[in-house]
Amino acid sequence: MSQLPKGPWTKTFFVKNVGTGSMLDLNGASAVQGTRIQGYQQNYGTAQTWSVSADEDNNLAFMNANTNTYAYSPEPINGGNVVGSATLVRFKVVGDGGKYQIKPLDANDLAWSLANGNDCTPASTVFPSIEPVLLQVSVSGNPAQQWVFETVG
């Protein structure tokens, strides 16, 4: 688990959800616009490798290191999806002690959250280890909304 430094910087990470232990994963490591970003069992594959860059305000962009696809929230509303996009989008990261909430800059009351955490979002019944990353109302200390950054390499 890494404490994030002040920006600007770019580093490669695996991003793990505290509540489920699932890794941030670009479904199928696909570069197709709108591909679901999900929590998936830890396998340290290319779909789970993220190049994370911070600007001078420490807002982060998450780019899949294999596909150059960015994390994006097309609808910054409660229940909105986090998907892959060709467009660089930055998110506010809030937290300390190595555990962080990831929030859209234009909807600071929302945070990335995983199904099967404490938010009662239904998980896939076909693939129970796959959990969609959704925007949900930010709740401080909710492990389903806390993420840790593990340095690659």
User: How do residues 96-137 score in pLDDT, each as one tens digit?
Assistant: 789 999 999 999 999 999 966 533 344 444 445 578 999 999
What is the number of structural domains in the chain? 1
Stretch 41-47: mean pLDDT: 94
* pTM for this prediction: 0.89
The two structure tokens encoding residue 69: 């696809």
Q: What SS3 state is found at 47?
A: helix
Judge whether 3 lies within some domain: no
What CATH code is carried by the domain that includes residue 89?
2.80.10.50
pLDDT at 39 over 90: yes
The mean of the pLDDT values for the chain is 89
Which structural domain, as residue segments, surrounds residue 94? 9-151
Judge whether 2 lies within some domain: no
Look-up of token digits 């060709």: 86
Distance between CA 100 and CA 146 in Å, rounded?
5
Task: Give the pairing type, strands 60-64 and 90-96.
Answer: antiparallel
Judge whether 1 lies within some domain: no
Q: For position 129, what pLDDT does the model report?
A: 59
Distance between CA 46 and CA 67 in Å, rounded?
9
pLDDT band at 40 (very low <50, low <70, confident <90, very high): very high
Stretch 39-68: mean pLDDT: 96
Distance between CA 122 and CA 125 in Å, rounded?
8
pLDDT band at 6 (very low <50, low <70, confident <90, very high): confident
Stretch 49-72: mean pLDDT: 97
